[in-house]
């Protein structure tokens, strides 16, 4: 019987159909302990990590029986993929289940920041209160505004669908232009990154974390943006130079930001916690009950397909 080591407590219902065919090792709560890892890492045939668990060279070297790493989630920057491949270990990810919930959260952050919903809610509940007046607490309308999507993959397109329904114009930046069919579906225009930054009223980041995208939004890029822009990041924290972002928010050189990810998670700079024009979310883009179950089943299906000699759902190659 093959052993699957799961690095974080995940919904037990997702494992119900395979418990008689595989030995499942999983923490009862939270992230795997050092003791549990030491006991099982050298004995597992498959590893199912979440983004919170770093699959380093050391972990891979200790996993002497390991044949496949099936990552939970679309991103896999928590895994040393190149080293795993050199050791003959397959790597897969779970991109499909994250598409709609991440787009939902990105759009929720966008709308919330634009209309200052959470900010006004906090102030109404405070002892200081808030002034209710026709010219106070003004936000930004979405209708007729331009949304710039950086990384028009599946999640970016799911966001575009939502934004289009609200009457927004869609522009996007990709290294490669999308097909005419996809562009027509969203009435989207392909532009350079600099052009997108300069003309967008809202910007949403959906690029992967790579050496090329590290701090892709830095001081030069912020200087191109409108002072009325809203910046959303549900991708990876290090796409943005966080110190520069804080400065632009403090000086009100951008209208606001909605952040689900941070540069040095789980640390969040105290300055962000004190600002009213930034909305914070705890890396929760896929944080629904439905998605946790679906993502677990998807990752498990990659493992099952591998051991049964079937086609992998989503192999990672570099």
pLDDT digit of tens for each residue in the chain (318 aa)?
999 999 999 999 999 999 999 999 999 999 999 999 999 999 999 999 999 999 999 999 999 999 999 999 988 999 999 999 999 999 999 999 999 999 999 999 999 999 999 999 999 999 988 888 988 999 999 999 999 999 999 999 999 999 999 999 999 999 999 999 999 999 999 999 999 999 999 999 999 989 999 999 999 999 999 999 999 999 999 999 999 999 999 999 999 999 999 999 999 999 999 999 999 999 999 999 999 999 999 999 999 999 999 999 999 986
User: What pLDDT was estimated at residue 172?
Assistant: 98
pTM of the entire predicted model = 0.89
Two structure tokens written together for 62: 């200790």
- Is residue 128 part of the annotated active site? The answer reads no
Complete DSSP assignment for 61-90: HH-TT--EEE-SSS--TTB-HHHHHHTT-E
Distance of CA 25 to the CA centre of its chain: 26
Q: Could you say which DSSP state residue 310 is in?
A: P
- Tell how far CA 16 is from the center of its chain: 28
Encoded tokens for 186: 């969203």
Q: Which of 43, 161, 215, 283 does the annotation list as catalytic?
A: 283
For 122, phi then psi, to 5°, come to -60, -45
pLDDT of residue 124: 93
- Concatenate the DSSP letters of all residues of 164-196 into one string: HHTT-EEEEE-SSPPPHHHHHHHTEEE--HHHH
283 belongs to the catalytic site? yes
Query: Would you state the pLDDT for residue 158?
Result: 98
Q: What angle do CA 113, 263, 260 make, to 5 degrees?
A: 35
> Omega into 170 within 30° of 0, i.e. cis?
no
CA–CA separation, 73 and 295 (whole Å): 7
Whole-number Å distance between alpha carbons of 174 and 176: 5
Catalytic pick among 116, 162, 236, 292: 236
Q: Does the annotation mark 236 as catalytic?
A: yes
Q: Give the pLDDT confidence score for residue 159 in this predicted structure.
A: 98
Residue pair 57/82 in contact (Cβ under 8 Å)? The answer is no
Active-site position among 67, 183, 265, 271: 265
pLDDT of residue 87: 97
Question: Residue 186: what are its φ and ψ, rounded to 5°?
Answer: -110, 5
Q: Token pair of 189, please?
A: 């225009």
Cα angle at 92 between 86 and 98, to 5 degrees?
150
């Amino acid at each position: 019987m093959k052993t699957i080591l799961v690095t974080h407590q995940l919904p037990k219902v997702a494992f119900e159909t395979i418990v008689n065919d595989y030995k499942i090792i999983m923490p009862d709560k939270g992230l795997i302990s050092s003791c549990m890892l030491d006991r099982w890492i050298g004995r597992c045939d498959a590893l199912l990590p979440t983004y919170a668990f770093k699959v380093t060279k050391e972990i891979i070297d200790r996993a002497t029986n390991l044949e496949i790493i099936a990552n939970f989630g679309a991103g896999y920057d928590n895994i040393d993929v190149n080293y795993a491949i050199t050791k003959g270990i397959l790597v897969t990810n779970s991109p499909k289940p994250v598409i709609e919930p991440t787009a939902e959260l990105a759009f929720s952050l966008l709308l919330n920041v634009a209309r200052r919903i959470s900010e006004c809610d906090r102030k109404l509940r405070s002892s200081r209160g808030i002034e209710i007046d026709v010219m106070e607490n003004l936000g930004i309308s979405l209708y007729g505004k331009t949304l710039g999507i950086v990384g028009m993959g599946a999640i970016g397109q799911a966001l575009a669908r939502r934004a289009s329904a609200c009457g927004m114009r869609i522009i996007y930046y990709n290294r490669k232009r999308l097909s005419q069919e996809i562009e027509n579906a969203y009435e989207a225009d392909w532009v350079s990154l600099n052009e997108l930054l300069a003309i967008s009223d809202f910007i949403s980041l959906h690029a992967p974390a790579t050496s090329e995208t590290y701090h892709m939004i830095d001081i030069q890029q912020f200087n191109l943006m409108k002072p009325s822009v809203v910046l959303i990041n549900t991708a990876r924290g290090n796409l943005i130079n966080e110190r520069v972002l804080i400065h632009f928010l403090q000086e009100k050189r951008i209208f606001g930001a909605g952040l689900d990810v941070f540069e040095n998670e789980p640390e969040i700079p105290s300055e962000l916690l004190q600002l009213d024009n930034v909305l914070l979310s705890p890396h929760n883009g896929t944080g629904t009950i439905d998605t946790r179950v679906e993502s677990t089943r998807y990752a498990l299906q990659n493992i099952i397909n591998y051991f049964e000699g079937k086609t992998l759902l989503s192999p990672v190659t570099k």
